Structure 1
Amino acid sequence: MLSTVRDYIAWLYWPRRFFSMRGKQSWLKVPGWETLAFIDQPGELEAVRKQTGDMFLGGQGNTFLGMVLGSQSVFLLDHDRHKMARRILAPPLSHTLSRQFQPVIDDIIAEELPKLSVNRNINIGTWSRYLTMRILGKMVLGLERKEDIDRLFRKFEATTGLLANIVSYCSYFWEDRRLTPGGYAAYLVRQIDREIYSVIHPARESYRDNPEADLPPVLLALIRGQKEYQYDDGFIRDNLVSLLAAGYDTTGCALSWSLFWAGKETGIFARFCRAWRKGDEKPLKAFRDEVLRYCPPVEILPRRIDPEKVSEARSVIPSVSEAFNQAGEQGPMVCPFVHRAHHNPDIYQNPDRFDPQRFLQHSHRVQEYFPFGTGRRICVGMHYGKLIMDRVLGTLADRNMAMKIRKRRFQPVRRNVSIWPAFFLYGRAWKDKERKQGECQSPAG
């Protein structure tokens, strides 16, 4: 009993104990949610990747996100409906179109960076999430006014904060019951809905009056697709909320880790800053890739087994047979373990060492490196996520700045579904007025 409670609390808030490849735990029963089967070996990861969408269902695996994202979210759909949602969302989130937004992203970073470089430490996680929300609010909803962004940000913060850890991983709270955490979460979601529908309705009227109306690409694609695919406004709402919630949380998380490692490994970051200013972008992008290897924002990718294929799934992933024994007829939730795969010593030499150089020397297969997911369920907004990380790191390099953080110990914690450097990581961007132009020395301490 004590072990179950200890594991449950660790899973909710301090999941590092499950990360280790040494003496690794192959399964975990999370009370109120699921029995999880962790897989991390390349062969099994590749088998699950190839059969996700058929034998392993990502949409049903993400049901625990349904209270916020909604049942018609691309994250919760499977089969033809999932393909349809991706057909609509992928073009406006493509690599090419994301690059067209780079000037907008740069302007927002320039406005927010002074908050990070004041003469006092600030909460890096909050700063990263707010910056990402400003960018996504503009690109997804077309929001310009600061008060609109602030209001939306506060509501998402309340919905995806530490209380959400309990609500997300306990099915008892998925229903809207009075005087429960689930009831409060549903109330907060209704607040978000009012904001989202206040954008959808006038945007659709604007499109009816003028099909060439200047609307954000994602919103325009969802409104255009409504006539062709015959979905209701709930589908538009669910996918707008999904892009905002998942994007601001995971990209904000990845950005926080980037700033954490920039402050922890000051020498490496300084060296890559110099290369960036000389016109070589590869080292700083390798820094970003190593951040995502060492600290993927989402550590597992839950997959529900098709009820008719449980026995077949058992033969595909034999390493977790004990999890099948514990889970019963429906089988466990199969979870490719991103963090473990990224720290596999058979693939990465010295995996617990932060070494961006590895991404300048080698490329990796999809079953070895997949911070944004893989296959049919790969993150639809990954191009924006990488672009935001690159532009923040590049801006720090351009301005000859380094990071100073208060905590340098690697101590990951869970905030809802993502893994963060700390509950409260404080630091600031630092500039030495005495150093020579072109140097990128880092602060002491």
Structure 2
Amino acid sequence: MKPPNALSTPLLLQEWQWVADPVGYMENAAKQHPDMFSAGLLSGRHLVFVNHPQAIQEVLTSDRKRFIAPGESNRILSPLIGDASVIMLDGDRHKRRRQLLMPPFHGERMRAYGDLICQLTEKVMSQHSIAQPFNMRSTMQEISLQVILEAVFGVTGGEQFEPLRAAITKMCELFHNPLSASFLFFPWMQRDLGAWMPWGRFLRDRGEIDKLLYAEIADRRRQDNRDRVDILSMLLAARDENGEPMTDPELRDELMTLLFAGHETTATAMAWALYWIHHLPEVREKLLQEIAALGDDPDPMSLARLPYLSAVCNETLRLYPVAMLTFSRIVNEPLELLGHPLQPGTAVVGCIYLLHHREDLYPDSHQFKPERFLEQQFSLFEFMPFGGGARRCIGEALAMFEMKLVLATILSRFELALVDRRPEVPRRRGVTLAPSGKVKIQIVRKKPVSAAIAQTPS
């Protein structure tokens, strides 16, 4: 049976457009078929993109008789995060692993990370000199990586910290443009032709990270971790329903997932936010006034509850969501979706990017308007930057908490200005959408530590 609303572009060209220019690819497809279209893959299969909120809800929340969510369908991420990650698991195994992973990302554990995030932000930002242009995307990556290493790994310095930080940073640079990341999308490129080719470099960088991760896991198993609050310590102490701990490969894969699904995506979102805040002076002024109202040295939890700051973060994640698609669901029995028949085996994804640009939900969708989120409450299937259903991002709370605290700390302590006023446009970075110009910015002045923000800059 012919797939619904299939694009007529040749398969090879479709796949290359999806890798090289995902935004253009999705927007052009949506002009032909606004709510749902089928993309051809070189494997001969079709992937159905859905951006209608009710249809996405049906796909993500239906029982397993209609749709299943096999980890196998996320195989594109396997080289990076391994096969034992929660992302790769199915059914009850996936549910049990999520239950093990959820506690560190909620409640009092979040409070423990607040001061750490603010301190690391100020430390990294203070390394930049006044009037010296720098790449904000890289700076946000450094902050987010240090947060992950300290909050997730509990590595706070010394001989373990720097090698791991350097190895992860090196690997991340492999994904800085669509061409260098293309081996994720084209399995035929996954051949080791030496360190001078992307796949060969990736294998060697991954091997170095694995060596460091397994050494850290072994070292921590020999320690008494009962009083530690980092996430690795809690995972080491976790037990499944049979009283069994996680194995070393399971721990390694979950740590790799947290590293790359956590710090890369959050860094990109924060870079986008700082671009919009400084591209639109009225947004910056409203934020400065809101933060100033809390007085000197505000509590991190108070910062995280600020309504306009929350709206700025939400609008950032709406406009260019770092995750463009939900994890796929596979049709398990014949059914209809938006009036189109779907056969068993059909892969369906929620298209988060197109959902967030529906004009019926978000008028003038390409404009940055944080007020949307103060004037209206969107449902879980109208605004979904962290996915939805059973595979919604586990680290959502920590990512939002970090994003708010980093932005508030930077605005409180540094007056910044964009170096390049040309508009930033989205470009693929691995499986995310990052600013193509990486947000070139400079520090105009550093504000006194103890001073509240009494006035906004002119």
Report if TM-score (shorter chain) is over 0.5: yes
| TM-score, normalised via structure 2 length | 0.84
CA distance in 2 between partners of 1:406 and 1:241 (Å)? 34
Identical positions, percent: 22
Aligned to 2:39: 28
Pair 1:140-2:140 in alignment = no
Aligned to 1:296: 321
CA distance in 2 between partners of 1:172 and 1:183 (Å)? 13
Q: Cα distance 1:53–1:330, how it changes in 2: closer, same or farther (>3 A)?
A: closer
Aligned to 1:11: 18
Q: Cα distance 1:417–1:337, how it changes in 2: closer, same or farther (>3 A)?
A: same
CA distance in 2 between partners of 1:437 and 1:91 (Å)? 36
Is the partner of 1:299 in helix, strand or coil?
coil
* Contact 1:133–1:149, Cα closer than 8 Å, also in 2: no
Aligned to 1:438: 454
Aligned to 2:306: 281
Deviations 1:123-176 (A, max 9, x none): 2221111110110011111112252453233343245443552111113345x6
Q: Cα distance 1:437–1:57, how it changes in 2: closer, same or farther (>3 A)?
A: closer
Q: Cα distance 1:384–1:305, how it changes in 2: closer, same or farther (>3 A)?
A: same
Deviations 1:280-324 (A, max 9, x none): 821111111111111111111131415xx1523xx13545x6xx6
Matches within 5 A, 1:161-240: 161-162=176-177, 165-173=181-189, 177-179=192-194, 181-206=198-223, 210=224, 212=226, 214=228, 216-225=230-239, 228-229=243-244, 231-240=246-255
CA distance in 1 between partners of 2:400 and 2:394 (Å)? 12
CA distance in 2 between partners of 1:219 and 1:363 (Å)? 37
Q: Cα distance 1:356–1:405, how it changes in 2: closer, same or farther (>3 A)?
A: farther
Deviations 1:232-286 (A, max 9, x none): 2111110011101110111111111111211221222222221221138211111
Aligned to 2:119: 107
* Contact 2:272–2:434, Cα closer than 8 Å, also in 1: yes
Q: Cα distance 1:432–1:395, how it changes in 2: closer, same or farther (>3 A)?
A: closer
Q: Cα distance 1:34–1:266, how it changes in 2: closer, same or farther (>3 A)?
A: farther
Pair 1:150-2:161 in alignment = no
Letter in 2 for 1:114: S
CA distance in 1 between partners of 2:317 and 2:49 (Å)? 19
Larger RCO (CA within 8 A; separation ≥ 6): 1
Q: When the two structures are aligned, how many residues end up with a matched partner?
A: 425
Mean CA deviation greater in 342-351 or 224-233: 224-233
CA distance in 1 between partners of 2:63 and 2:149 (Å)? 31
CA distance in 1 between partners of 2:182 and 2:31 (Å)? 28
CA distance in 2 between partners of 1:117 and 1:260 (Å)? 19
Is the partner of 2:88 in helix, strand or coil?
coil
Is the partner of 1:354 in helix, strand or coil?
coil
* Contact 1:342–1:351, Cα closer than 8 Å, also in 2: yes
CA distance in 2 between partners of 1:423 and 1:5 (Å)? 28
* Contact 1:60–1:304, Cα closer than 8 Å, also in 2: no
* Contact 1:406–1:426, Cα closer than 8 Å, also in 2: yes
Aligned to 1:253: 268
Gaps of 5+ in 1: none
* Contact 2:292–2:453, Cα closer than 8 Å, also in 1: no
Mean CA deviation greater in 152-161 or 105-114: 152-161
Matches within 5 A, 1:280-359: 281-305=306-330, 309-312=332-335, 315-316=336-337, 318=339, 330-331=345-346, 333-359=347-373
Give how far 1:340 is off.
1.1
Q: Cα distance 1:400–1:212, how it changes in 2: closer, same or farther (>3 A)?
A: closer
Give how far 1:74 is off.
0.9
CA distance in 1 between partners of 2:339 and 2:199 (Å)? 36
Give how far 1:109 is off.
0.6
Give how far 1:43 is off.
1.4
Letter in 2 for 1:192: I
CA distance in 2 between partners of 1:215 and 1:170 (Å)? 40
Name whichever structure is richer in helix by fraction: 1
| TM-score, normalised via structure 1 length | 0.86
Letter in 2 for 1:129: Q
* Contact 1:95–1:383, Cα closer than 8 Å, also in 2: no
RMSD: 2.9
Letter in 2 for 1:380: I
Letter in 2 for 1:300: L
Aligned to 2:5: none
* Contact 1:299–1:338, Cα closer than 8 Å, also in 2: yes
Aligned to 1:51: 62
Gaps of 5+ in 2: 1-7, 295-304
Give how far 1:4 is off.
4.9
